[in-house]
Every structure is written in structure tokens, then in C-alpha cells.
Structure 1
């Protein structure tokens, strides 16, 4: 099942370290099957506030996403981003094409599922 590494970068200081990070990240993704799905475009905010931008990278599964993030190649460039940006990064499991919104009810407490 596809997994996603997602970063909400609220602010980024564009400098030589960020340029280096961008020049090197693609090579860290390739061994793990990672591909950019969303990168660099400012979102159209429909509700609430969403400062900054979103980066979404797809991986074949959670194992590959975790292995990429922990890899020596990515860990070597990670400080280039974290020193020059403010944001949060997560890894999340995707859902299949048959997924329905009500499928999440099975994981909710009994009271909420009624």
C-alpha cells in the first residue's frame, strides 16, 4: 500500500543550503522508490489557515518511506533543510481505491461508531 512522507513547511529561507538540499534529495529517494506527488506549489486554502507549502512524496509502502527517512543519504542532507525551515514532517499510510469514508468507523470507540 502506498505510503506518503509529508512536510508542511511553514517558512523556508532560500539560501545555498536549501539549494544544495534540493540538488541532493532526488538521489536519496531513488533507492526507495520515492517520487514527488506535490512539491513547491502554494496550496489553494479553502478553509482555515495554511501558511507555507506542502511537500508530498509517495513510496511503495511504509517500510520504504521509513527506510528513506532513516537512510544515511537523507540524514546527511536533512540538517540543510531543518536549519533553514520551520515545519513538520510525517509519514502516513495511504488507502486503496476501494476505501470508503465509513471504513474508519471500525477504529473508533464504540460510542462514536453509533
Structure 2
């Protein structure tokens, strides 16, 4: 099942040169794990809640490869180039399959909650 790495970033201009180096190097860290950008540094149109920043979404073939990418020595080496200069929240999350049914999920959660 497809997995995603999601970054909620709060960049502070001007960007530090380390951030540019991080951007130049990240794709090479993703390639061995089948990672690709879905969106990169885009400012979202917020409809609920509050968010003032940019979003990065990476797609991986599965959670094992997403974790392997994040934990890889190549990616761990460049994390400080971003993290030291851009406050962020980074998360990995599984996607849903093509047959996902929100109503069926709700029914299962409702039944589990009822005990």
C-alpha cells in the first residue's frame, strides 16, 4: 500500500544556504526507495483550522520503503540542513487502497466504540 511522507514547514525568509543544499540532495536520497514528490513547498489553501506555512508530500511504494528512506544514512545526514533552519512537522502515513470505503470504516469504528 502506498505510503506518504508529509512535511508541514514554516520557512523563515531568507532561507539559509543549508536549505538549498538539502533541496539539491533530497531526491538522491529518495531514489533508492522509489520516492517521488507529490507536492513540494506549496502553500495550501486552508479551509478549516489554521496553518501558515508550506506543504511537502512525498510518495513511496509502501511504508517499509518510506521508513527505510527516512532512516537511511543518506537522508539522516541531510536532515539538520532543513531542521536547523525551518521549523517543521514531519510524518509518515499509509495511504488507503483503491477499494477504501469511508462508510464501512465508520461502521467498524462505531461498532468497536459501542463495545
* TM-score, with length taken from structure 2: 0.89
**CA displacement at 1:103 relative to structure 2:** 3.5
2:76 matches 1:83 = no
Q: Which residue of 2 aligns with 1:65?
A: 66
**CA displacement at 1:38 relative to structure 2:** 1.1
Tell me, which stretches of 5 or more residues in structure 2 are unaligned?
none
Q: Which residue of 1 aligns with 2:17?
A: 16
Q: Distance in 1 between matches of 2:63 and 2:109?
A: 19
TM-aligned CA distance change 1:101 to 1:87, over 3 Å: same
Q: Which residue of 2 aligns with 1:36?
A: 37
Say which SS state the counterpart of residue 81 (structure 1) adopts: helix
2:109 matches 1:110 = no
Q: Which residue of 1 aligns with 2:4?
A: 4
Root mean square deviation of aligned Cα:
1.6
Deviations 1:3-54 (A, max 9, x none): 0000111234512100000000000000000000011221111122111011
**CA displacement at 1:100 relative to structure 2:** 1.4
Say which SS state the counterpart of residue 76 (structure 1) adopts: helix
Q: Distance in 2 between matches of 1:58 and 1:79?
A: 22
Say which SS state the counterpart of residue 98 (structure 2) adopts: coil
* TM-score, with length taken from structure 1: 0.90
- List structure 1 segments (4+ residues) > 2 angstroms apart after TM superposition: 10-13, 102-112
Q: Distance in 2 between matches of 1:49 and 1:6?
A: 17
